[in-house]
Amino acid sequence: MIVEVFSLCDAATSDGGKLNILGSFDVIRVQKLPAVLAHCSIAIRLRFFALEKGDHHIEVRFIDADGQGIIPPSAGSVKVDFSSEQRSAAFNLVLNIPGLKIDKAGEYALELRVAGQVVISLPLDVRLQ
């Protein structure tokens, strides 16, 4: 499996196999804390290969510098199944997060786990202006 896209962004959609991403970011600047982001999304595009057919447990966690969850993890399964002529297939996932509350400035991370293993971790820096 290859992670083709894993991004925190202002908005994302998946339509007809296309992953649309608006405003990818890794820094949030706020005037005061706690702060609430009205809306953001996590955009994910995973590519699986023929040998990886079957169910794959996917989990996304948003954690602080101490590894504590900021919001409940999002989890589910992806059923990888495609024709014998295909060598690989991409799967798009979009997680919408309305009203994300951030209590303190500092370092955070988004983790993507597949079958319980962290496959990628993205830093997010929250700063007071």
Tens of pLDDT, residues 10-23: 999 999 999 999 99
pLDDT of residue 85: 87
- Report the pLDDT averaged over residues 28-49: 96
Residues above pLDDT 90, as percent of the chain: 93
Structural domain harbouring 107: 2-128
- Report the pLDDT averaged over residues 110-117: 96
Tell me the pairing of strands 35-49 and 54-64. Answer: unpaired
Q: Is 123 left (phi over 0), alpha (psi -120 to 50) or beta?
A: beta
CA distance 126 to 128: 7
Q: What is the pLDDT of residues 67-99, one digit of tens each?
A: 999 999 999 999 998 888 889 999 999 999 999
pLDDT at 46 over 90: yes
Residues above pLDDT 70, as percent of the chain: 100
Helix (H) or strand (E) holding 94: strand 88-102
pLDDT at 37 over 90: yes
Q: What is the CATH number of the domain that holds 62?
A: 2.60.40.1930
Contacts of 88 (CB under 8 A, 6+ apart): 47, 48, 49, 50
Q: Using pLDDT thresholds of 50, 70 and 90, give the confidence band for residue 120.
A: very high
Q: Give the total number of structural domains in the chain.
A: 1
What residue has token string 């990886």? 52
pLDDT at 113 over 90: yes
Kindly write down the DSSP assignment for every residue of 98-111, as one continuous string.
EEEEE-S-EEEEEE
